[in-house]
A = this chain, B = another copy of it.
């Protein structure tokens, strides 16, 4: 509610400002080709990083900012659509660089190209479910400690290059009752605790997705929010997108 009010207030200010002489006019966006591409350099660059939940089937050939085909079909798309639709004057440049199956060390492997060189103002990271899951399914040897240390190193490296970065860390989650979630997932909790510690340590906004999905389970079962317990449905995407927008807008 207050986010919405803040947004409307911001719109009013933007509209008033644009009507005042000597200030930048509306319609400041240069013409550009491509579906929804916006080449302005005025606004914040927002980068989404993560695994399949972030990737959500994006077309990796479409890597320009604000390109609908490169945004995937998940929570990132809904966030991007909302920010671009509600704040046309903001000049956001939004990138999705999630890659299905990634663990935190795989983010590190591609960090120069897929984060640092994009010079984000806002960096959102959702990572960790595969750091645990692949110990069950793919004989991956990492532990919660590996995850936490790798995550910490990655963020130190990032903030070293981008000291003014606004950091958003989304909690990795598992939706109870989902087809992939067994009693073994009790051992996932230390990864979630590590993500929360890391967020505190780096003064990041933290999105408590586990409690958001736990709350949602009071209204419909896992099959409704995330059938396998890991990958959200459209309804789950909505919950994530709303929580993300709340985190970014404070």
Q: Which residues of A contact B (CB under 8 A)?
A: 1, 4, 26-27, 29-38, 66, 68-69, 71, 73, 77-78, 80-82, 84-86, 88-89, 179, 216-221, 223-225, 227, 231-239, 241-242
Contacts and interface: CB of A to CB of B under 8 A. Distances in A.
A144 to B, nearest CB: 28
Contacts of A37: 223, 227
Most buried by B among A32, A218, A221: A221
Query: For the complex formed by this chain, how many copies does it contain in all?
Result: 2
A31 B225 CA distance: 11
Contact of A88 (B32, B35, B86, B224): B224
A36 B236 contact: yes
A235 B89 contact: no
A149 B73 CA distance: 37
A26 B81 contact: no
Given A37-B227, A77-B234, A85-B237, 16 more contacts: A26-B219, A27-B220, A29-B223, A31-B223, A32-B227, A33-B227, A34-B227, A35-B227, A36-B233, A37-B223, A69-B73, A85-B234, A85-B235, A85-B239, A88-B216, A88-B224
Contact of A27 (B34, B77, B218, B231): B218
A227 B225 CA distance: 34
A71 B32 CA distance: 28
A39 B220 CA distance: 12
B219 A27 contact: yes
B27 A234 contact: no
B233 A35 contact: yes
Nearest to A220: B88
